[in-house]
Each structure stands twice: as C-alpha cells, then as structure tokens.
C-alpha cells in the first residue's frame, strides 16, 4: 500500500495538517519543519496526489456521503472504496444517513447550503427534482452512486441486466419452474431486478407464476435482509410439490437467510433447488453461493475519483458510468450434475 500523509506525519512527528500545509507551500510552516517533512516524504517515496492540493484550497476539506442505510454490506463495501481513495488526501468523509425519502432534501439543504462540505456522494436514492436547479446553482459538486440524473455525474449498476443474466443461467440448466425472491418493491434496485427476471422468462417463453414471485413487505433496509430471505423461503417451502426448482434471489444477504430455511426443512441446494444471488458480498464465498458480482469496492474508488475530478474541473460535462454485474458460478447453481437432474425431471 502506498504511503499516505498519515505515514509522513508519524515519521516526521507532526500533525497531518502540517504535512498538508507543507505540500501546499503554506507560509505558516517553518523552514526546519518543512525540510523534515520533505525528507521523510522523499525517503518513503511519497508523491502528493494532485487532487490533494485542490482539496486543501477548499473551505472544509470534507466530503459527505448521503446514504439510506449504514448497515448493509453493499454500502459498507462501497464506502471502504471511497475511504481508501480519500485516506491519503487529508480529506474527511462525513456520513449522513437518511431513513426516509422525505428527509433527503432537508439533509442536502442543511449540509450543502450552509457550506459544510466541499462535495457530496449521493447513494441509491432519487435526486428530488425540486432541489436539482437549486443544487446546480449552488455549484457544490455532486456524484450519484447507484442512481442517475442527467445533470450530475453518476455511477450505477445495471440491475436489470444482472437479473436477466442470473435468470438465464437458471434457464440454461433446464429449469422451467423458476421463482424470484425479491426485496421490497418500493426499492429501485428491487424493481429493476424484477424487470430483468421477467424479461428473461418472457424471452424464454416460460410462464411467470405469480405465486412464485414474492416481494418482501419489510421497510427495514428495503427488505434486503437475512430475515426477509428466511421468511420468504419458508413461504416457498410451504408450496410443497408446487415449489420452484430454482430461485433468483435479489441479494446475497437474503440468499443466506433462504439457505438457512432450506436447511431447516431438510432440503439441499442445489440437489433440491438451485439458487442464484446478487452482490457477491464476502459471505457468498463461504456459502458457495452462485451470484451476480457487483464491483462494490471499485465503485467506491471510482466515485471518489469522479468527485475529486469534478472539484478540479467544475464546468466539465457530466460523466455517466454503468457497471454490468458478472456471473460468479459456485455450488448453489450451475453444476453439471444439476443440469442432468433437471433435464431428466423435465423429460419425465
């Protein structure tokens, strides 16, 4: 890992603020201190990031991340990427949690219009149209992550395409009776993933049984929880012989709950049912879960990069980046044995 200003400060026995002032030629630093900091930097082969100088000229040296939830694996991994990018730039990351869409505008106005941050990363929520013009006029840099608006830089995952590919993977292995275990349909990702599931089923001329498409009703974390996965899988199990042979699950954490419910019922995956998840959080590896990988950490790094670039060039045209999830085949769906089993069951 390359050295940061924290390493320089520790070795030179000064504060990180002093290191920042040295690299920005601030007159308040004594000649002796400046030379000591530069010697340490040279010894550690440290090169100040060009964005660091730009940030140092700003009023607060702070970036705010506005997120709907603090506790989901998705946001935790993205924020790790953001923090890794900002850690060497003497820039603070401020987290602002929004529990309800009605709070979005209030949070933005409170922090931005009072000049409390230099830029904002806005996660997984729709930008209020009533606030767009006001925000643009204020000219505080904003990057949308897992969201889109034509007027702002954005990074998003193609949820529909990811769900489409996940469902097609199950179809390719001979499954005809396929279900979907979804999160709360009020969530944008949940709606997009449902569209992808439906598209794959319709293109394959497979019937979509309403009883096999189950959405979480939980408002907690939009239903992207282990508990919702567990409860909905119990509903599938209760169908008995009408239970699907395969299920696309809208998140890995829900899939973890679903697998627990299957185990308690004495059912095995993929012997009795195949499952594909979505996210590829660390837990998916331990569960042997076939899933659609979102580049969460990389998205965080790029989101910080885009915001820093916007700070340097505030008048450039908005940049929009779309990530396509990648299928990661493990044990819960996709083995040769399961293809042969499903094909023979269908023929029978």
| 263-275 per-position pLDDT tens digit | 999 999 999 999 9
As to burial, measured by CB atoms within 10 angstroms (0-12 exposed, 13-18 middle, 19+ buried), residue 25 is exposed
Q: Tell me the pLDDT band of 132, cut-offs 50, 70 and 90.
A: confident
Cα dihedral value 201, 206, 207, 210, nearest 10: -30
Is 163 part of a structural domain of the chain?
Answer: yes
Number of CB atoms found within 10 A of residue 80's CB = 13
pLDDT tens digits, 316-345: 899 999 999 999 999 999 654 544 454 444
Q: Tell me the pLDDT band of 161, cut-offs 50, 70 and 90.
A: very high
Average the pLDDT over each of 131-140, 148-157, 181-190, 241-250 and give the range with the smallest value.
131-140
> What average pLDDT does range 91-107 have in this prediction?
74
Same domain as 126, residue 103: yes
Q: Is the pLDDT of residue 116 over 80?
A: no
Residue 322, strand partner residues: 156
Q: Is the pLDDT of residue 74 over 60?
A: yes
Same domain as 195, residue 286: yes
Give the pLDDT confidence score for residue 4 in this predicted structure.
Answer: 76
Is 53 part of a structural domain of the chain?
Answer: no
Q: Is the pLDDT of residue 89 over 80?
A: no
* Mean pLDDT, all residues of the chain: 86
Q: Tell me the pLDDT band of 348, cut-offs 50, 70 and 90.
A: very low
Is 251 part of a structural domain of the chain?
Answer: yes
Provide CB contacts within 8 A for 135, sequence distance 6+.
Answer: 108, 112, 127, 142
Q: Is the pLDDT of residue 201 over 90?
A: yes
The total number of structural domains that make up the chain: 3
Cα dihedral value 131, 132, 133, 135, nearest 10: 80
> What average pLDDT does range 165-186 have in this prediction?
95
Share of the chain above pLDDT 90, in %: 51
Same domain as 198, residue 91: no
Same domain as 168, residue 152: no
Give the pLDDT confidence score for residue 19 in this predicted structure.
Answer: 82
Average the pLDDT over each of 43-47, 105-109, 207-211 and give the range with the smallest value.
105-109
Give the C-alpha separation, 335 to 267, whole Å.
Answer: 17
Q: Tell me the pLDDT band of 153, cut-offs 50, 70 and 90.
A: very high
Same domain as 244, residue 116: no
Which residue did the predictor score with more confidence, 121 or 53? 121
Same domain as 127, residue 271: no
Q: Give the pTM.
A: 0.76
Q: Is the pLDDT of residue 93 over 50?
A: yes
Same domain as 332, residue 223: yes
Give the C-alpha separation, 1 to 19, whole Å.
Answer: 19
Give the pLDDT confidence score for residue 71 in this predicted structure.
Answer: 63
Is 54 part of a structural domain of the chain?
Answer: no
**Is the bond into 124 cis (omega within 30 degrees of 0)?**
no
Same domain as 42, residue 72: no
Provide CB contacts within 8 A for 33, sequence distance 6+.
Answer: 12, 14, 18, 22
> What average pLDDT does range 258-287 have in this prediction?
96
Average the pLDDT over each of 18-22, 230-234, 283-287 and give the range with the smallest value.
18-22
Is 229 part of a structural domain of the chain?
Answer: yes
Same domain as 258, residue 119: no
> What average pLDDT does range 179-196 have in this prediction?
94
Question: Among residues 214, 148, 170, 224, which one has the least CA distance to residue 346?
Answer: 170
pLDDT tens digits, 214-257: 999 988 888 899 999 999 999 999 999 999 999 999 999 999 99
Share of the chain above pLDDT 70, in %: 84
Q: Which domain holds residue 201?
A: 159-294+328-347
Which residue did the predictor score with more confidence, 160 or 148? 160
Same domain as 77, residue 17: no
φ, ψ for residue 166 (rounded to 5)? -60, -45
Same domain as 36, residue 92: no
Average the pLDDT over each of 37-51, 165-179, 294-308 and give the range with the smallest value.
37-51
Same domain as 301, residue 183: no
């Amino acid at each position: 890992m390359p050295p940061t200003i924290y390493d320089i400060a520790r070795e030179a026995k000064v504060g990180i603020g002093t290191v920042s002032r040295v690299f920005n030629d601030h007159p308040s630093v004594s000649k002796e201190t400046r030379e000591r900091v530069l010697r340490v930097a040279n010894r550690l082969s440290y090169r100040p990031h060009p964005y660091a100088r730009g940030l140092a000229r700003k009023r607060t040296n702070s970036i705010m991340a506005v997120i709907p939830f603090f506790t989901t694996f998705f946001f935790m991994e993205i924020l790790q990427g953001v923090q890794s990018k900002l850690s060497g730039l003497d820039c603070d990351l401020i987290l602002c949690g929004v529990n309800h869409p009605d709070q979005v505008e209030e949070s933005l106005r409170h922090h931005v219009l009072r000049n409390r941050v230099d830029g904002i990363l806005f996660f997984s929520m729709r930008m209020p149209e009533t606030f767009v013009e006001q925000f643009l006029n204020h000219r505080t840099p904003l990057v949308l992550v897992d969201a889109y608006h034509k007027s702002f830089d954005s990074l998003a995952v193609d949820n529909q395409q990811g769900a489409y590919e996940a469902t097609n993977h199950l179809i390719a292995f001979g499954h005809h009776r396929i279900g979907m275990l979804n999160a709360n349909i009020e969530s944008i990702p949940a709606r997009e993933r449902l569209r992808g599931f439906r598209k794959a089923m319709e293109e394959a001329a497979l019937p979509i049984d309403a009883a096999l498409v189950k959405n979480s009703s939980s408002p907690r974390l939009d239903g992207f929880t282990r508990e919702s996965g567990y409860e909905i899988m119990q509903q599938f199990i209760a169908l008995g012989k009408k239970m699907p042979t395969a299920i696309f699950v809208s998140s890995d954490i829900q899939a973890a709950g679903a697998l627990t419910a299957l185990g308690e019922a004495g059912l095995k995956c993929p012997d009795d049912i195949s499952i594909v998840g979505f996210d590829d959080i660390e837990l998916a590896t331990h569960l042997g879960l076939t899933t659609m990988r979102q580049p969460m950490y990389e998205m965080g790094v790029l989101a910080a990069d885009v915001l820093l670039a916007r700070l340097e060039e505030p008048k450039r045209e908005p940049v929009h980046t779309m990530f396509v999830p990648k299928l990661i085949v493990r044990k819960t769906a996709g083995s040769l044995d399961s293809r042969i089993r499903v094909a023979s069951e269908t023929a029978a």
